[in-house]
Structure 1
Amino acid sequence: MLNKRAADQGPDAIAGNPLDKCRVFGSSDVDETRAQVARLYCDHRLNPVSPNARLQAWQNAVTLKQSCLATMGYGAEVQIDPGKLKNFYLLMLPYAGEAMVDAGGRMVQASSTLGTLLSPDDLVTMRWSPDCAKYMVRIDRAALEQHVASLLGHPLRRPLNFRLAIPREGLGAEWWRLTELLVGLVECQDRAHPQNLAIDQLEQALLFSLIEGQEHNYSDALRDRDRSIAPKHVRLVEHYIEEHAADPITIEQLVAISGVSGRALFDGFKRFRNTSPMAHLRACRMRRVREALLKPTPDVTVSRLAQDWGFHELGRFAGQYRKLYGETPSETLRRAR
C-alpha cells in the first residue's frame, strides 16, 4: 500500500512495491504521467478527482514474450478514460485500494478480492482510489485470439470478449497466484534479461488458464469442441496442413491423406470444425502471414508475404485479413516495426 510518508517524500521515494527494480517512472505531474502510461498502454484522459490533489504516480514494468507485466499506482484519486484498448487485453488485479471499472456498460468495484479483465473493443472508464495499486498484465490481442483460434481449429468470426469480473476464489485465485509467482520470478532475474524457461512457462500457463477458465464468448464453442473430439481422418489432415502449409496442396491430396472418401472428409470438417478442408488450409496460411507481419524481417513486404503463402489476389486477401483481425496487413506491419 502507498503510505503517506512515502508520498510526502516524492514519487521516487515510493518503494516497497512489486517489481521496484523495474521502475519505469515516478512523477507528480499529470501530463508526464499520462504520457508515460500511454507509452505502455494507449492514449487516454487522466484527471485527478480533486483539483487540489497532488499525484504521486509510479509504474514498474517488464516486457515478456507475449505480455507486459507491470505494477502501478497514482497516489491520488483519479479518473482514467482510455476508451477502447484496441490492440490488447488488460488483466488488472489490485493488491491495495479499490477502483471502479466500467467496461462496455459492465461495472465492477475492483479490490484485493475482485480483479478485472478488460477486452479490446469495450469502452472503458475507471476511477482509482488514492491508495489503489495493481498487478497489470498487458496481453497482445493477436496472440490471445490466435491461441483461441488454434484451439477451435478455425479463425475467430467475431472479436474475443471476456467476462469483466475476476473474483479471487476458485480459478480466479489461481490467476492471482500465477501473477504473483511471475512477479517473484522476474524480481529474481537480471532486469535487462528477464527471460528464462520458468518465466516463459508461467506466462503461458497464465494466458492458457485465462482462455480455459475465464468465461468469454467462445467458451461454449471450446466446451463443445472438447465434447466432440474430431475423428482420426480430420486430425490427420489438420496435422498435414500445419506441417505443409507452405507447399502446394490440393483437395485430392488431402482426401488421399485422410484415408476416407471426399464426402466423409468434408462431412468431418463441417461437423467437428465448422469449416471445409481447404478453408482450414487458407486460415492456416493467413495465420502464418500474420505471424510473419508481427515479427517482420527488414525487407518483408505485405505483397511478398501474401504471394509466398498463395494469396495472389491482394485486394481480396487484404479484405479477408481485415475481417479476421480488425486491421489491414499494412497496419499490422506498421505497428510491428
Structure 2
Amino acid sequence: MTVVASPLQAYSRLSSNDVDYVRDSVAKVFCSHRLEPHNGVTELKAWQNSASLTKSSLSVMSYGAPVTIDPGYLETFYLMMLPFEGRAAIEAGDRSFISDANTASLLNPDESVRMNWDGNCAKRMVRIERAAMEQQLARLLDRPLRQPLRFDPVMRMDSRAMVWWRYVGLLIDELDALGPAASKTASVEQLESLLMTSVLEVQPHNYSEAMSQPRGAIAPRHVRQVERYIEAHAREPIDIVRLIEVSGVSARTLFEGFQRFRGTSPMAYLRGVRLKGVRDTLLRGPAGRTVSEIATEWQFFELGRFAGLYRQCYGETPSQTLRRSLR
C-alpha cells in the first residue's frame, strides 16, 4: 500500500518502518500506547496523514503489518474509526467486535481499549475532544450533563451512519482542496460542529433518550432564577435552603422543575457549574497556583472526593489538566 492515493496527502505526518518512531509519532496525534507487531515482525510499512482542527483531528493511516495497539484509556477524546481496507479486532470496555468496511467503531474516553489491526488494515479516523463533544451535547439538551457521555462502541454502517461518514468525507475533501490553511476556516469549523451534532443524533449513547424528548419547552422562571444565582455565586457557600429562598417556591416545586427541565437536582447543577469553573481555571494555566487552591476557591474542600468527581466528568485528573495547560 502506498500513500500516493490516500486522502489528506498534504497533511503527511509519518512514513516509517521503525516501530518506536511510529509509536511515538502516532502518540502525538492520539495518546501514549503500546504498539506490538505480530509474529516476530520487526519492521512496519506505516504511514499516517493527519489534519488538526479546532476541536478535532482527521487522520488516515495504516501500519502495513499486523499489530496490537493498547492505549488503555483514551481519557480526553472520543475516537471514530472506519477501515477502508482490511479489518481490526476491537476490545472496548466489555465489548469485543470486528471492525471492517461494514462496522465502524466509536471508542469512549473512559472505557479501556485494545485493538488488533490486520496487516492490510487502513482506516479513516476522527478524534474529537471530550470536552467539546460533551459541551455540544449540553447545548443540545440545554442543561449540564449529569454523567459522562458514553456511546455504543459498535457503529453499524446503516444509512444514518453512512451519512455521518459522508460528512467526514466532505471535511476531508475541503481540507484536500484548500491545503493546510483550510484547517481554521469558517467552513471547516462549521463542518466540525456538524460532525459533533450529527454523531450525537446518529450513534446510540446514554443521552439518546433525553435527546429524543421535545426541546421546545422553556424552563419556568424559578428554575432560571436559581440558575442565574448559581452562575453568579458559585464560588460562595451555597446550600439548598438558600436556593429554595432564591426560587420563591417550595422545595418540591424547585426539585420537580429542575428534574423535568434540566434532568438533575439543584445541588447537582451547582456542582456541575463549580466543576466547570475549576476546569476553566486550570485550562488557563494559572502560574503558581495549585489544584487544591483552585478547588477550594470553588468550594470543594474534600479534595479526594473532588478529584474523583472531576475525573468522572472530564476523563482526566485535575493535575493532568493543569499540566497540559502549562506545557
Q: Above 0.5 in TM-score?
A: yes
How far does residue 176 in structure 1 lie from its aligned partner after superposition? 0.7
Equivalenced residues, count: 323
Partners of 1:242 and 1:287 in 2: how far apart? Answer: 12
Deviation digits for residues 135-179 of structure 1 (CA, Å, limit 9, x no counterpart): 11112223323443452623433x432112222222201221111
Structure 2 residue aligned with 1:22: 11
TM-score by length of 1: 0.80
CA pair 281-82 structure 1, distance change in 2 beyond 3 A: closer
1:71 paired with 2:74, answer no
Counterpart position of 1:99: 88
Mapped pair 1:280 → 2:260 = no
Structure 2 distance, partners of 1:73, 1:179, is: 18
CA distance in structure 1 between the aligned counterparts of 2:271 and 2:72, rounded to whole angstroms: 34
CA RMSD after TM alignment: 3.3
Partner of 1:156 in structure 2? 146
Residues in 1 aligned to 2:242 and 2:51: alpha-carbon distance in whole angstroms: 47
What pairs up with 1:245-256 in 2 under 5 angstroms?
A: none
TM-score where L is the length of structure 2:
0.83
Equivalent residue, structure 2, for 1:206: 195
What residue identity is the alignment partner of 2:58? Answer: L
2:90–2:116 contact (8 Å) kept in structure 1? yes
CA drift at 1:72: 0.7
How do 1:128-277 and structure 2 match up within 5 A? 128-150=117-139, 151=141, 153-157=143-147, 159-191=148-180, 194-224=183-213, 226=214, 229=217, 231-233=219-221, 236-237=224-225, 240=228, 244=232, 263-277=252-266
Distance 1:294 1:162, change over 3 A: same
Distance 1:72 1:36 in 2: 12
Counterpart-to-counterpart distance in 2, 1:323 and 1:98: 32
Does the 8 Å contact 1:57/1:73 carry over to 2? Answer: yes
Q: Residues 137 and 197 of structure 2 are in contact (CA less than 8 Å); yes or no, is this contact kept in structure 1?
A: no
Stretches of structure 1 that go unaligned for 5 or more consecutive residues are: 7-13
Question: C-alpha deviations, 1:268-320, integer Å up to 9, x for none?
Answer: 11333343335423422321321332343556654564465x42636365454
Change (3 A) 1:48 1:263: closer
Q: Rate the CA distance shift 1:215–1:238 in 2: closer, same or farther, 3 A.
A: farther
Equivalent-residue separation in structure 2 for 1:240 and 1:335 (angstroms): 31
| Higher mean displacement: 236-245 or 30-39 | 236-245
Change (3 A) 1:246 1:190: farther
User: Relative to structure 1, is the Cα distance of residues 136 and 321 closer, same or farther in structure 2, using a 3 angstrom cutoff?
Assistant: same
Matched residue, 1:117: 106
The 8 Å contact of residues 86 and 120 in structure 2, kept in 1 or not, is answered as: yes
CA distance in 2: counterparts of 1:281 and 1:45, whole angstroms: 39
| 1:301–1:28 distance in 2 versus 1, CA, 3 Å | same
For the Cα contact (< 8 Å) 2:226–2:247, is it kept in 1?
Answer: no
**Larger mean Cα displacement after TM superposition, 46-55 or 98-107:** 46-55
Tell me the amino acid that sits aligned with residue 172 of structure 1. Answer: A
Q: Distance in 2 between matches of 1:87 and 1:327?
A: 7
